[in-house]
A and B are shown apart, each in its own frame.
Chain A
Amino acid sequence: MLKDITLGQFFPGRTVVHRLDPRTKLLLLVVYIVALFLAKSFFSYGLVLIFLVGVTLLGRIPFKSMTKGLKPMLIFIIFTAVLNLFYTKGGKLLLDWWIFEIWSDGLETAFFMVLRIMMLVCGTFLLTYTTSPIALTDGLERLLSPLKKLRVPVHELAMMMSIALRFIPTLIEETDKIISAQKARGADFETGSLIRRAKALIPILVPLFVSAFRRADELATAMECRCYHGGEGRTRLKVLRFASIDLIAFFVGGVLLAGVIVLRHFGL
């Protein structure tokens, strides 16, 4: 079922990672990504990997759900690997067959590229697995709030994002229901030519759009009934506050970044 897609889905929990302030986690993700892009050798990649595995263990995220999340990226990863493998020249020539040439530099680049993409995706999943969408948008809004001075509608953007996130499961559930209902009327989505299959989507898409618009309309009315008028003067039920674990987390993040930079400085 569609519903069983766990891509980026929040796993509720009470671990240290879950309890960190969402702003801390967002900033740490940035630090992690910078570190990942600065990494150049086995040693620095190893350091970042230790961090990734450590946080995964701390957050008690099953490794299975990580690999499951990587699956949809597989084609992209393979494509990158192949491209890098054949188009990077340098170092020793390892294989020369027909029009294909593989160089040792190509092998190295391909390996690190794949590693980098996978670690990037896993790092992002770590954030969404351990942070509820509400907390995430809340943190994002607070982090970006200086931009309000530049007239960027930060609150509105965050509200749109949280509404979108809130309705993804609802719409998935709805899609599931509509698919089942049309299947019950003998609809067939799995056989036939491409055009036939595309046509078979109409009985799903029309009701889905109708219901999405209906929901949007109802939500807008409900928000107005409760006097929603944007971010101006709005207070929060849960005020975000940094705690001592956030300080520790920042320290660990700092060590990671410093480590990678030092290793890079020594050409590692």
Chain B
Amino acid sequence: MDPTKPILEVKDLTHVYSSGTPFEHVAVEHIDLSFYPGELVGVIGHTGSGKSTLIQHLNGLLKPSSGKVLFKGEDIWKDKKFTHFIRSKVGLVFQYPEYQLFEETCFKDIAFGPRNQGVSGDELEARVRRAAGFVGLKEEWLQKSPFDLSGGQKRRVAIAGVIAMEPDVLILDEPTAGLDAAGRESILENIKAYQQAQNAAVIMVSHSMEEVARLCSRLIVMNHGSVAMDGVPAEVFTHSVELTQMGLSVPQVTTVFRLLREKGLALPADVYTVGYAVDRLLERKEGRPC
């Protein structure tokens, strides 16, 4: 795949829910975005900013009220078959995906997606095992009922169910919501590992800044249904005041550096990880001994 050609493009997308009823609601408005192969993109925004609505357009689950979504340059709504085909090219893991499990065993549940794609036999077996490996599912869990697993394990099974379809673009809606710190950490690592191994484009929705700051190479900030910022984390975090006004928490170290700068210290504004912060501080110390 050519990394300079966008794999997914969103053109002037607007979506109105319950159009024509008293409950009409504009969820996203005039969105223009491009996603490239091999990118790990974080989408952040307060609750109700339209993140979930946006990503459900990327694999044709929602039809734009106006605007277009292009996959490798082709309109995903050009015909019914193509829309169906897109769903296996753009994998979407919903928020709380553990509530969609239905099969008797985890193996069968993970196999549901690839089977719908027409994969069978050894290839199916191999795909399920590979997907289970990516999310750190133990071999013996595969034959268990998904309803006997803990919340975190169920979530892994559900994510594996989408990964097993081997999509070119993997989208995850708040994959760490409601998990404990250890569970969050390990799912994020799994996602990162998958992205690097497959060189897939991964889009991750989150409302935790620290999470996306650490993981993603690009951040998209949504605010009231539009894209407020789009850039590398260092650039986005220089706007820490605006981010806070949008109801988003910035990493603690960014806030510390902002406060220090306000006190008159000449420190950079693009700090968002502790490691980078320590380096900058040491640099300063060496340059001008106290």
Contact = CB atoms under 8 A, between A and B. Distances in A.
Interface residues of B, number: 26
A4 B117 contact: no
B256 to A, nearest CB: 40
B121 interface: no
Given A184-B162, A188-B116, A210 B21 contact: no
Contacts of B22: 11-12
Contacts of A184: 59, 61, 87, 91-94, 162
Nearest to A180: B61
Given A184-B92, A186-B113, A203 B102 contact: yes
A207 B102 contact: yes
Contacts of B87: 183-186
A113 B99 CA distance: 47
A177 interface: yes
B99 A207 contact: yes
A138 B101 CA distance: 38
Nearest to B90: A184
A197 interface: no
Contacts of A4: 18, 21
Interface in B144-182: 147, 161-162, 165
Nearest to A182: B100
Contacts of B88: 186
Nearest to A11: B22
B59 A6 contact: no
A27 B113 CA distance: 53
Interface of A: 3-4, 6, 11-12, 177-178, 180-188, 202-203, 206-207, 210-211
Interface of B: 18, 21-22, 56, 59, 61, 84, 87-88, 91-94, 97, 99-102, 112-113, 116-117, 147, 161-162, 165
A154 to B, nearest CB: 33
A186 B102 contact: no
A211 B102 CA distance: 11
Contacts of A12: 22
Contacts of B112: 182, 185, 187, 203
A207 B100 contact: yes
Contacts of B93: 184
Given A180-B61, A184-B94, 13 more contacts: A3-B18, A178-B99, A180-B56, A181-B94, A182-B112, A184-B59, A184-B87, A184-B92, A185-B161, A185-B162, A186-B117, A187-B116, A207-B102
A187 B112 CA distance: 8
Give the interface centre of B22, B56, B93, B97 by most chain A CB atoms within 10 Å.
B22
A188 B84 CA distance: 9
Contacts of B18: 3-4
Contacts of B101: 207
Contacts of B165: 185-186
Contacts of B113: 185-186
A185 B131 CA distance: 14
The 8 A-B pairs at the shortest CB distance, nearest first, are namely: A186-B116, A206-B102, A185-B113, A184-B92, A181-B100, A181-B94, A203-B102, A180-B61
A6 B21 contact: yes
A188 B147 CA distance: 24
B23 to A, nearest CB: 9
B147 A177 contact: no
Contacts of B21: 4, 6
Nearest to B62: A180
A6 B20 CA distance: 12
A177 B116 contact: no
Contacts of B99: 177-178, 207, 210-211
Contacts of B91: 184
B147 A183 contact: no
A88 to B, nearest CB: 40
Nearest to A205: B102
A210 B103 CA distance: 12
A206 B100 CA distance: 8
B54 to A, nearest CB: 14
Contacts of A3: 18
A187 B22 CA distance: 32
A185 B18 CA distance: 25
A4 B56 CA distance: 18
Contacts of A6: 21
B52 to A, nearest CB: 10
A216 B53 CA distance: 28
Contact of A180 (B94, B116, B147, B162): B94
Give the interface centre of A11, A185, A203, A206 by most chain B CB atoms within 10 Å.
A185
A181 B102 CA distance: 12
B117 A177 contact: no
10 contacts: A177-B99, A184-B59, A184-B91, A184-B92, A185-B100, A185-B161, A186-B165, A206-B102, A207-B102, A210-B147
Contacts of A210: 99, 147
A40 B272 CA distance: 79
Given A183-B61, A185-B116, A203-B112, A177 B94 contact: yes
B103 to A, nearest CB: 8
